[in-house]
Amino acid sequence: MIGNAANRQFDLVHAVQPELKAIVDVTLDVALLMVRVGQGAVCMAREEGSYPLKPSSLQVGSRRPLGVGAGSLAILAAMDDDAIDSILTQNEDALQGYPSYSIEKILEMVTDARRSGFAYVDGLIIPEMIAVAAPILDPKGSPIASITCSAINSRLRGARLDDACRMVVDSAARLSASPLTLKTAPNSFPETT
């Protein structure tokens, strides 16, 4: 079972790599793939652009509770309300490690993400860092991962922010429809500690 999950994760990372590269070729910043694993999300791929100042909070292998950070927030916001309530209840202790986050704050951000079509986080984990993300969905509409663009705060404003939002939403939509992405099977990545 773990071998099959690892193969599916590799397939997803392989399918996402060109999308991450396309984002950083335009933004020059950082693009990430976050994959849902249990009640959290793990960074499975990171692509860096040529801009010299880069967000460093998420590296490949970094894990966040669902709802913390743009990538995991995008995944959470694409779930139904009952699943969100259950996950946030289960993650209540883990949220203690993120003082800028509360269940109420996450629920507000879920509402905003659903309204706009993307998750937006500005300086909640690391001051002066900003990120936008959109969910990658399986054929049934369940979120399995997300694409994120992350940068220092001053780089993602105005038209650049609009462009980054459009790119992550478009990339996530393409990946949601991709035969390579569809091989991953929804929510079947085993919980790891």
- Would strands 129-137 and 143-152 be described as parallel, antiparallel, or unpaired? antiparallel
Instruction: Say what the pLDDT of residue 9 is.
Output: 52
| Cα gap 24→150, rounded to integer Å | 10
Question: In whole angstroms, what is the distance from residue 47 CA to residue 56 CA?
Answer: 12
What local confidence, expressed as pLDDT, does residue 125 receive? 85
pLDDT for residue 2: 42
Residues 6+ positions from 192 with CB-CB distance below 8 Å: 37, 38, 42
In which residue ranges of the chain is pLDDT below 70? Answer: 1-10, 180-193
Predicted local distance difference test score (pLDDT) of residue 175: 94
- Cα(172)–Cα(133) distance, rounded to whole angstroms? 9
Q: In whole angstroms, what is the distance from residue 71 CA to residue 45 CA? A: 12
Domains for the chain: give ranges and CATH numbers: 2-51+60-148+168-182 (3.30.450.40)
What gap in Å lies between CA 21 and CA 79, rounded to an integer? 27
From CA 166, how far away is CA 151, in angstroms rounded? Answer: 15
- What predicted TM-score, i.e. pTM, was given to this entire model? 0.89
36 contacts 64 by C-beta, under 8 angstroms: no
Q: What is the pLDDT of residues 92-139, one digit of tens each?
A: 999 999 999 999 999 999 999 999 999 999 988 888 899 999 999 999
In this structure, how many other beta carbons lie within 10 angstroms of the beta carbon of residue 47? 19
